Structure 1
Amino acid sequence: MFSMTGYGSAKADGDWGTMTMGITSVNHRYQEITVKLPREFSWWEPWFHRKIRSAFSRGKVSCRLDVAWSGRCGSNMINRDFLMALYRDVASMASDMGAPPVDLGYLLGVSGVLDGRSAVMDEDALEEIFSDLINRAVEDWNASRRAEGEFLWGEVMGKISVYEGIIDDLSSAWGEARDRAFEHAKERVSAMLKDMGLDLDESRWAQELVLMADRWDVEEELSRIRSHLLQFRQVTSKEGPWGKRLDFIIQELNRETNTIGSKVNDAVLRSMVVDAKTALEMVREQIQNLE
């Protein structure tokens, strides 16, 4: 069980300097990724997105890469290959247009010309370093999320047990409350008929009793609640992620609980329904942070 909240980091050292990667995440309904890279590595951003996207299903994730270059890769190194290609293209265009030759000094201000530090390593070497960094950072991040997720799951199951206990009490109390409600209704009908000088037709009363039972009976709702609770407890035996499944089951439990609340008139049962809904809301708040 993973929480959507977590933090992980990794560091790589070489004669070129030190790279540090940090990954942080918070809960979010969908999958959202933000990648912050040094300017010289900006074109690697889609690659980082693809790598991180496969590591989680939902949440808001921020990945940041910081580089401390060594003296060998000091600031304002010239990217020679890029500058030479740029100069050739600009000189060729100037010749075609009959313009004077370009001053090389002006090209030093073009973005990327003075970002030659990354040119110290070729693309394959960079990808190997980045892959190692992101794998270790994700592993550290997942360890953090797993620890938080296990704690939250314990809290969730505690609240679910409270809800289940309330439902068991409600189920036990419902039988007596139903019989009292039927008996009270019969007494009221008998009194009204007596005032009008009429007798209670037992066969007609039996028909009315069936209709009242259909409107009042909550056994069907209680049965569905027990089924949903079983699904809730078994959800971790299936392939993850589980957060959305748990959220859906909570919605179904809340719907059945509300239906019971609309059917019962007994004050004690209504109080139980309120307590059950309160426990469900606590569960819902906790699982909002589970992936």
Structure 2
Amino acid sequence: MVTSMTGYGFAEEKIADGRISVEMKSVNHRFLDVQFHLPAVLRNQEEEARKIVNEKVQRGKVDITVTLTGNPSSLGVEKHLHIDWHLLRQYLQEAKQMQAFGAFDGKLSLNDFLFNEQIVSVQEETREAPAIHQALWNAMHNACNSLMSMRNKEGRLLSRDLESYLQHISQCLEVLETRVPEVQSRYRQKLEQKMKAMVDTVDEERLLTEVAVFADKSDVSEELARMHAHVKQCKETLGEPGAIGRKLDFITQEMNREANTIGSKGNDQSLSKVVVEMKSILEKVKEQVQNIE
């Protein structure tokens, strides 16, 4: 079954008087790369959350954002105002000394200290909240299912396109198998005409030798047979379970090599046109394969 590496999933769970939402985005990647963006109260749960993704996703770059909304205290977050009294005393003492010089006539106000982040700061404390953890697991599972649903849907479209491309390649191979003997026959006729133009008679033995040499150099039967085998293997792989993207990528590279060899050995314009068309289709196959898990 073909699964795309591109997808999106979202899920939300209600907790107390708040909510927890999980958003997942995945794109192409050579391996599995999962990145989390978690609120402070849930950072110690990243490893468990990662296991949920690893159970269902095998390849791709997955970006996960978890958001908590609602009353912080009910979400396991307590905020406290912290004042550095020691630093405040130093500020006031130094201010008195500076004022004694008579250089400053302004008076200090409460705002001068309330908005000084070095003196007044808000600190967060997190506490264990089993209800939030359970809500996180539920949202993670649902978001992951949503992500995989989209990836599977995209995969079915990719599979349909690839099957169409492979069918087109098979048609190109059939055309090449028909034209190769025709090319060899035309070569014999041209060679025979040249011999007659130079001398009145044709050296049949030499003609057969030249034609045999040409036929050997332009023989692409092995390459065509291997191409047919690769096309068949591609179709079979599309129906295999699990991550098949790397295998398809390797087969596509082999098909490209065979197509290049056929093009170099063909030595005929009519064959070259078919090979160019086939290579153009292979480029499309390669692009689509890059999206498969």
TM-score (norm 1): 0.77
RMSD of Structure 2 on Structure 1 (CA): 2.9
Alignment partner of 1:115: what SS? strand
Other-structure match for 2:108 = none
1:148 paired to 2:150: no
Contact 1:31 1:57 in 2 (8 A): yes
Other-structure match for 1:159 = 165
Tell me by how many angstroms 1:49 deviates.
2.8
Alpha-carbon spacing, 1:165–1:216, altered in 2? closer, same or farther (3 Å): same
Other-structure match for 2:78 = 77
1:12 paired to 2:9: no
* Residues matched between the structures, number: 256
Tell me by how many angstroms 1:35 deviates.
0.6
Other-structure match for 1:88 = none
Higher strand share: 2
Amino acid in the other structure paired with 2:14: D
Other-structure match for 2:125 = 115
Contact 1:38 1:66 in 2 (8 A): yes
Give the alignment of 1:82-231 within 5 angstroms. 114-116=124-126, 119=127, 121-122=129-130, 125-188=131-194, 194=199, 200=203, 202=205, 206-231=208-233
Identical pairs, percent: 30
Once the two structures are superposed, residues 260-289 of structure 1 have per-residue CA deviations (whole angstroms, 9 ceiling, x without a partner) of: 100112211111111111111112112211
Separation of aligned partners in 2, 1:54 and 1:142: 11
Alpha-carbon spacing, 1:137–1:173, altered in 2? closer, same or farther (3 Å): same
Separation of aligned partners in 1, 2:209 and 2:153: 58
The unaligned stretches of length 5 or more in structure 1 are 80-105
Other-structure match for 1:275 = 277
Alpha-carbon spacing, 1:234–1:132, altered in 2? closer, same or farther (3 Å): same
Once the two structures are superposed, residues 23-59 of structure 1 have per-residue CA deviations (whole angstroms, 9 ceiling, x without a partner) of: 1111122222211001222232233333323322221
Tell me by how many angstroms 1:191 deviates.
5.8
The higher radius of gyration belongs to 2
The unaligned stretches of length 5 or more in structure 2 are 81-117
Amino acid in the other structure paired with 2:154: E
Contact 1:73 1:120 in 2 (8 A): no
